[in-house]
Amino acid sequence: MLSLDIPQTPPEPEFTKRTQILVIEDEDLIREMVVLALQEQGYDTITAPDGRVALNLLQEALRHSEPMYDLIILDLMLPQINGLDLCRLLRYQGNTIPILILSAKASETDRVLGLEVGADDYLTKPFSMRELVARCRALLRRQNFSNIPRPSVLQFQDVTLSPEECRVLVRGEEINLSPKEFRLLELFMSYPRRVWSREQLIDQVWGLDFLGDTKTVDVHIRWLREKLEEDPSKPQYIVTVRGFGYRFG
């Protein structure tokens, strides 16, 4: 008797009790497979077969002050209202729900267009369900971090960071940081002593569509150390945790 041992990725407990995903897909088979994959990981799902039904669901939730969806999986080629127009409309209305586009259109132009109208990620068909679930988790993690209220000032020993003013003081003197350096430092100071892998830092600072490699993180860490540390060769703030990544403090 033949047994198929298909490895299952365990659900993430921090999301399974509250996360609701809206799946907008007109192809029945794909919609059912996506829903099954998500439900196996503990996510709640609501489905819509076209753009008009999806828009009605979103407007109904808003009208009755119901909890909004945590993530939207959106096919581009939809009847009634196509995916691009729906995405553009949601962003125009100020809706910030993360949107993952599914599309058979795989050209760079199509991907860029999808991201420019407001999507957070773009996955081309055919795709594996494992990759779909991984991308959903990454988007939900980013949303979870972004929902945390930002303090007006972050302070750690001799380093002071003001998110609203985009200013950093080190030992009382202001230093100039690039946008990526600033975002890295803000992330580090928001979670002192937490260890971040290079992949996690890329996910949070550069985004899901970053096409470089993890050495980019090492380069930016070196630049940050040169601006923060009294002796960059013996860092006191940004510490390397061998085999894992980096820790602040």
pLDDT (average), residues 189-193:
88
Same domain, 130 and 161: no
Q: Determine the Cα–Cα distance for residues 107 and 109; give it in Å rounded to an integer.
A: 5
Same domain, 76 and 39: yes
Distance of CA 87 to the CA centre of its chain: 17
Which of 124, 146, 168 corresponds to the end of one domain? 146
Residue with more model confidence, 202 or 63:
202
Residue 5 has pLDDT above 60, yes or no: no
What's the pTM value of the predicted model, to 2 decimals? Answer: 0.57
Percent of the chain past pLDDT 70, that is, above it, reads 86
Counted domains in the chain: 2
Q: Determine the Cα–Cα distance for residues 104 and 123; give it in Å rounded to an integer.
A: 9
Residue 104 has pLDDT above 80, yes or no: yes
**In CATH, what number is assigned to the domain containing residue 131?**
3.40.50.2300
Residue 1 has pLDDT above 70, yes or no: no
What long-range pairs does 18-21 form, CB within 8 A, spacing at least 24?
18/70, 19/43, 19/44, 19/70, 19/71, 19/140, 20/44, 20/45, 20/46, 20/67, 20/69, 20/70, 21/45, 21/46, 21/69, 21/70, 21/71, 21/72, 21/73, 21/136
Residue 149 has pLDDT above 60, yes or no: no
- 207-235 tens-digit pLDDT: 766 667 778 889 999 999 999 998 988 99
* pLDDT of res. 18: 62
Given the structure tokens 């369900």, which residue do they identify? 129
Given the structure tokens 């949070």, which residue do they identify? 204
Tell me the residue range of the domain where 101 lies. 15-146
79 burial class (0-12, 13-18, 19+ CB within 10 angstroms)? exposed
**92 in any annotated domain:** yes
Give the phi and the psi of residue 120 in degrees, each rounded to 5: -95, -20
Q: How confident is the model at residue 12 (pLDDT cuts 50, 70, 90)?
A: very low
User: What's the chain's length in residues?
Assistant: 249
Residue 244 has pLDDT above 80, yes or no: yes
**50 in any annotated domain:** yes
